[in-house]
């Protein structure tokens, strides 16, 4: 058997409604931990709750009896497999995206395999993937064919208790294999082809009935393409590219079924909500915020209709798109109950009697609640990090400041928890740079630093997403210049605002943040006493030949667009060529298995530091990829980081 059906014999510190409080805490350990409980979903009939837990340092799926408030089963895997994302298909059966680690890497990865199992651990089978045939259970079952491919779940067919729709992409060396939409039986593993995608890298969109409506893709020039599916003729019609913008992302079919709701920036700066009519491809704006892009949408769990969207203008805010759905009415109530928190409805029962809600904030790592619609009562289920329940966390405040060219830049400031007027400041730079941004919420690294006596400044420099297309593209080909000048301007603003002493500041970051830590420290050598780069890129000219980004079909086109093609400028923007200007103490941390920013970047920086006679601290991990997956490795890094800061900053 490849799924183990066990009862928990250990005593959980966290029951469904309580939390575990330790007598004394090592805060480095606490902030290094992975979430103890996450991704909670209720079964369609409401009898069980599923929750991702950690068992023997691997993710497993706990099954909880809702009425009895007891953990009745744990579904876990042997070999190197762990539980990834999952969903309830019907009242008894779950489908799990299997992730797999290996002996030399701590981080498990998804290789396209799907596993199906009943809540009680029975009838567990790999139903899709390269090892589906060898992992089949039962001697009288005809061996199914292994699929050398990659599955993504497209639709759980609400009216079909045996089948789901998946996107299936066969493995290939050229990266341009066209996916298929398949109907997959979650008991037998049998598949039936529904449609062939119109282009490589296509994503499918279906309506509330599970019928195929749309496909959208990104070509090798990093351009979006959109296609409408004709269910009668079984073919595709391409939507003219002039009909939509460059942020086109469909989220749901509208409630009348004749159009698709889309996040896009068509003929405008901010990404808002649009409606694309399927008959004539007419396009109309529905809602756009004047300050920020729509961050995400909330959709109904039955029909996948949009009822609200999230806006991250400082603290999170929500706008209700429709109040006709049960989710919308409940969400409105929850926004009042959990005032100021970020919210997400993870799941509900088929009869809408029970709902699972996630609430989180800057001082709340995340808690799951059960809403009983009949009793109109809310019960706490799980805390994601229960061992922090009795720890007083630091509040994070949104801030704004003018940069060197008067461009307004936004970010967040978290004051140190220790007493005193001015605290040492850590400028913590986010990665990306054009895909992610800092948002308001719980950040374990920020809380670790604040708990240790350091104030933290986070900056959404130009080029960060979320503030419109003009702001985003203002960071293109400015990695080593305007972006860093925003970071420097934010640091100087913190000094002038009395948030920090001018000679008591360190800059740190991971990925692009690691790059920024070193690059800003060379551009403003007297501003930072120390700099910490984790998994950073330090030689921009090798980005187009090293790592996983150039291997993507659109990777080179993307890098040319955001980095530029001027090798002399890329040399100027590369910290490996600027270390002679450094005055800051430096800590370099990197994983040997990093395929996003290969360790070659760190090795080149190390060599440049040696040749320039610059001292530095070096921390190398044999079993990490891009950043830290292992809590033990994260703890090791945090201890060295705090020791490094204590050595170079005054408290």
List, for residues 26-70, the tens digit of each pLDDT value.
999 999 999 999 999 999 999 999 999 999 889 999 999 999 999
Nearest CA among 510, 573, 575, 567 for reference residue 544 = 567
3-state class percentages of the chain: helix first, strand second, coil last, to nearest 5 = 20, 35, 45
Nearest CA among 36, 45, 14, 16 for reference residue 347 = 45
Calculate helix-pair angle for 482-496, 512-523, nearest 10 degrees.
Answer: 70
In terms of DSSP H, where are the helices of 7-122? 27-32
**DSSP label of 552:** S
How much is the average pLDDT of 105-114?
A: 86
In whole numbers, what is the pLDDT of the chain averaged over residues?
A: 90
Are residues 312 and 468 in contact, defined by beta-carbon separation less than 8 angstroms? no
Which bin fits 121, alpha (ψ -120 to 50), beta or left (φ > 0)?
left
Choice among 106-110, 169-173, 488-492, 501-505 with the minimum mean pLDDT? 169-173
Per-residue pLDDT at 403: 98
CA distance 362 to 573: 34
Q: Can you count the helices (H) and strands (E) in the chain?
A: 10, 36
Q: What is the layout of strands, in order, in the sheet containing 224-230?
A: 203-206, 212-218, 224-230, 235-238
pTM here is 0.91
Per-residue pLDDT at 412: 98
Which residue range is the domain that position 639 belongs to? 397-648
For residue 425, give the CATH number of its domain.
3.40.50.1820
Residue 5 clears pLDDT 50, i.e. is over it: no
Residue 82 clears pLDDT 50, i.e. is over it: yes
Residue 436 domain flag: yes
Residue 416 clears pLDDT 70, i.e. is over it: yes
Residue 181 domain flag: no
Q: How far apart are the first and last CA of the chain?
A: 56
Residue 375 domain flag: no
4 pLDDT tier (thresholds 50, 70, 90): very low
C-alpha dist (Å) from residue 485 to 112, 403, 475: 42, 8, 11
For residue 589 the two structure tokens come to 């941390």
Q: Which residue has the tokens 């920013």?
A: 597
460 pLDDT tier (thresholds 50, 70, 90): very high
CA geometry: angle at 287 spanning 281 and 291, to 5°?
130
Of 7 and 98, more confident: 98
C-alpha dist (Å) from residue 31 to 62, 170, 365, 449: 23, 40, 11, 10
Helix (H) / strand (E) containing 535: none
Which sign does the torsion angle of CA 243, 246, 250, 255 carry? negative
Residue 477 domain flag: yes
CA distance 131 to 145: 9
- Return all residues near 506 (Cβ < 8 A) that are at least 6 apart: 424, 425, 426, 427, 528, 529, 530, 531, 532, 584, 645, 648, 649
CA distance 389 to 404: 41
Per-residue pLDDT at 17: 39
Summarised one tens digit per residue, pLDDT across range 474-488 is 999 999 999 999 999
Residue 323 domain flag: no
Q: Which residue has the tokens 């800057």?
A: 362
- Residue 154, judged by CB atoms within 10 A of its CB (0-12, 13-18, 19+), counts as buried
Residue 173 clears pLDDT 70, i.e. is over it: no
Summarised one tens digit per residue, pLDDT across range 353-394 is 999 999 999 999 999 999 999 999 999 999 999 999 999 999
Which sign does the torsion angle of CA 626, 473, 315, 381 carry? negative
Number of structural domains, the chain? Answer: 1
Q: Which residue has the tokens 């909880």?
A: 64
Nearest CA among 394, 488, 490 for reference residue 444 = 394
140 pLDDT tier (thresholds 50, 70, 90): very low
Summarised one tens digit per residue, pLDDT across range 538-571 is 999 998 888 778 777 677 888 988 999 999 999 9
């Amino acid at each position: 058997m490849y799924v183990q059906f066990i009862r928990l014999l250990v005593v959980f510190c966290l029951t469904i409604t309580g939390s575990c409080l330790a007598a004394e805490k090592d805060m480095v350990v606490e902030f290094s931990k992975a979430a103890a409980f996450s991704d909670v979903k209720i079964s369609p009939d409401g009898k069980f709750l599923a929750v991702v837990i950690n068992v023997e340092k691997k993710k497993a799926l706990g099954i909880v009896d809702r009425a009895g408030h007891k953990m009745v089963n744990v579904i876990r895997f042997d070999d190197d497999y762990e539980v990834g994302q999952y969903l309830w298909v019907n009242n008894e059966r779950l489908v799990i995206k299997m992730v797999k680690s290996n002996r030399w890497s701590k981080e498990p990865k998804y290789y396209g395999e799907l596993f199906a199992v009943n809540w009680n651990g029975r009838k567990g089978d790999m139903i899709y993937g390269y090892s589906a045939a060898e992992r089949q259970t039962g001697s009288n079952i005809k061996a199914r064919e292994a699929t050398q491919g990659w599955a993504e779940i497209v639709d759980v067919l609400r009216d079909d208790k045996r089948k789901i729709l998946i996107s299936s992409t066969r493995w290939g060396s050229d990266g341009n294999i066209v996916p298929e939409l398949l109907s997959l039986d979650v008991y037998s593993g049998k598949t039936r082809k529904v449609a062939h995608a119109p282009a490589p890298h296509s994503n499918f969109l279906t309506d509330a009935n599970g019928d195929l409506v749309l496909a959208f893709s990104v070509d090798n020039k990093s351009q979006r393409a959109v296609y409408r599916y004709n269910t009668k003729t079984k073919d595709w019609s391409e939507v003219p590219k002039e009909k939509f913008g460059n942020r086109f992302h469909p989220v749901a079919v509208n409630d009348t079924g004749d159009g698709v709701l889309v996040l896009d920036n068509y003929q405008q700066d901010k990404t808002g909500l649009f409606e694309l009519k399927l008959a004539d491809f007419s396009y109309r704006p529905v809602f756009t915020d004047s300050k920020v892009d729509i961050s995400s949408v909330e959709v109904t769990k039955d029909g996948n209709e949009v009822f609200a969207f999230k806006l991250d203008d400082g603290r999170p805010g929500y706008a209700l798109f429709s109040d006709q759905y049960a989710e919308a009415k409940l969400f409105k109530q929850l926004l009042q109950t959990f005032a100021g928190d970020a919210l997400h409805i993870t799941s509900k029962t088929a009869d809408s009697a029970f709902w699972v809600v996630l609430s989180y904030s800057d001082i709340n790592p995340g808690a799951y609640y059960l809403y009983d619609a009949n009793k109109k009562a809310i019960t706490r289920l799980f805390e994601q990090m229960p061992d922090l329940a009795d720890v007083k966390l630091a509040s994070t405040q949104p801030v704004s400041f003018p940069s060197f060219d008067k461009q307004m830049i936004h970010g967040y400031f978290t004051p140190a928890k220790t007493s005193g007027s001015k605290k040492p400041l850590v400028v913590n730079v986010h990665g990306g740079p054009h895909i992610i941004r800092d948002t308001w919420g719980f950040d374990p690294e920020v809380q670790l630093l604040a708990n240790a006596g350091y104030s933290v400044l986070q900056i959404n420099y130009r080029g960060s997403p979320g503030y419109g297309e003009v702001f985003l593209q203002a960071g293109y080909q400015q990695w080593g210049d305007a972006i860093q000048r925003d970071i420097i301007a934010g640091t100087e603003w913190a000094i002038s605002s009395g948030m920090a002493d001018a000679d008591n500041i360190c800059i740190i970051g991971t990925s692009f943040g690691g790059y920024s830590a070193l690059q800003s420290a060379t551009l403003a050598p007297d501003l930072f006493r120390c700099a910490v780069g984790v998994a950073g890129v330090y030689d921009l000219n090798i980005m187009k030949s090293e790592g996983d980004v150039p291997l993507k079909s659109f990777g080179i086109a993307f890098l040319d667009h955001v980095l530029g093609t001027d090798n002399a400028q890329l040399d100027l923007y590369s910290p490996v060529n600027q270390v002679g200007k450094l005055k800051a103490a430096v800590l370099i941390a990197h994983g040997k298995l990093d395929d996003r920013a290969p360790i070659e970047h760190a090795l080149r920086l190390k060599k440049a530091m040696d040749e320039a006679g610059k001292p530095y601290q070096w921390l190398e991990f044999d079993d990490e990829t891009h950043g830290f997956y292992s809590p033990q490795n994260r703890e090791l890094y945090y201890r060295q980081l705090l020791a490094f800061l204590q050595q170079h900053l005054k408290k």
